[in-house]
Amino acid sequence: MTADLGPVVLTITDAHRTHGRGAHEVHALRGVSLQVRAGELVAVMGPSGSGKSTLLNIAGGLDTPTSGSVTVSGNNLGGVNNARRAQLRRAHIGYVFQDYNLVPALTARENVSLPLEFDGVRPHLARIDALAALAETGALDITELFPDQLSGGQQQRVAIARALVGPRQLILADEPTGALDSVAGEEIMQVLRARIDGGAAGLMVTHDARYAAWADRTVFLRDGRITDSTGALASAESLLAGAAGQAG
């Protein structure tokens, strides 16, 4: 997998993120540097409170580092105003969350079209792209169903299609398999892996070594710092040992 990596998509350089002040100050990130290339999936593991979600949020411009920089596809997210950051986010970055966040009143297809229509894509073109993304995630048979008619696994396929729709270069996933049984979880990982192999870069938070094993490498966070990094082939054993010790 690592042999065919493309250009660097995500660069995080010495990122610090502090929440609160004085006695309430929390150092969520303490100097994290990380690069993810096209065609590469990086898993992030670590105990509860170690800064995993904060790292994902700053990678996607949902949060900004207190110091340090974040560059996505050559765009420095810190050097632009909020409106431009939101635009860059929509153009380049797809998010997959554990709790799907689908709009209940919209069908699967409409949920996937929505981000494109926000960006001014005409409805018939958004529909074509939405159907392509739903095909990619194996959800073509449920395009006209509403979220409450779908299983958890099906809802996550729709949520991933929404994250992948259009030309996204960076896929950020926060426990994308968290609410699923292991069969559905493996299916979701196949979909994500295929998109990464197709040329996107991916950063995925997981507590589960089985899913981290789908990544090209895993970084371990502890107290806001990267403490360890391992390649996928380094050994499933070390991942399992790490997960057993660090899951939170």
Residues that bind ligand ATP (CB under 6 A): 19-20, 26, 28, 46, 48-54, 248
Rounded Cα–Cα distance for residues 132 and 129 (Å): 5
Minimum distance from residue 13 beta carbon to ligand ATP (Å) = 18
Output 51 or 68, the one with its CB closest to ligand ATP. Answer: 51
49 vs 199, beta carbon nearer ligand ATP: 49
Shortest Å, Cβ 137 to ligand ATP: 25
Q: Kindly state the smallest distance separating residue 73's Cβ from ligand ATP, in Å.
A: 24
Q: Which is nearer to ligand ATP, 66 or 69 (CB)?
A: 66
Q: Which is nearer to ligand ATP, 6 or 248 (CB)?
A: 248
- Rounded least distance, CB 89 to ligand ATP, Å: 19
Query: Residue 124 carries which side chain, given as an amino acid letter?
Result: H
- Where are the alpha helices (H) located in 33-181, listed in sequence order? 52-59, 82-92, 108-118, 123-136, 152-164
- Minimum CB separation of residue 105 from ligand ATP in Å reads 29
Which residue, 53 or 73, is less far from ligand ATP as judged by CB? 53
* CA distances for 224 relative to 30, 45, 158, angstroms: 5, 12, 32
Q: Are 108 and 158 in contact (CB under 8 A)?
A: yes
d(C-alpha 45, C-alpha 97), whole Å = 16
Cα four-point dihedral sign 197, 200, 206, 212: positive
Label residue 183 exposed, middle or buried (CB < 10 Å: 0-12, 13-18, 19+).
exposed
- Find the distance separating the first CA and the last CA of the chain, reported in whole Å: 29
Give me the least distance between CB of 224 and ligand ATP, in Å please.
7
Cβ proximity to ligand ATP, 105 vs 244, nearer residue? 244
In the complex, least distance from residue 23 CB atom to ligand ATP, rounded to whole angstroms: 13
- Rounded to an integer, what distance in angstroms lies between the CA atom of residue 210 and that of residue 198? 22
**The residue count for the chain:** 248
Nearer to ligand ATP, 46 or 153 (CB): 46
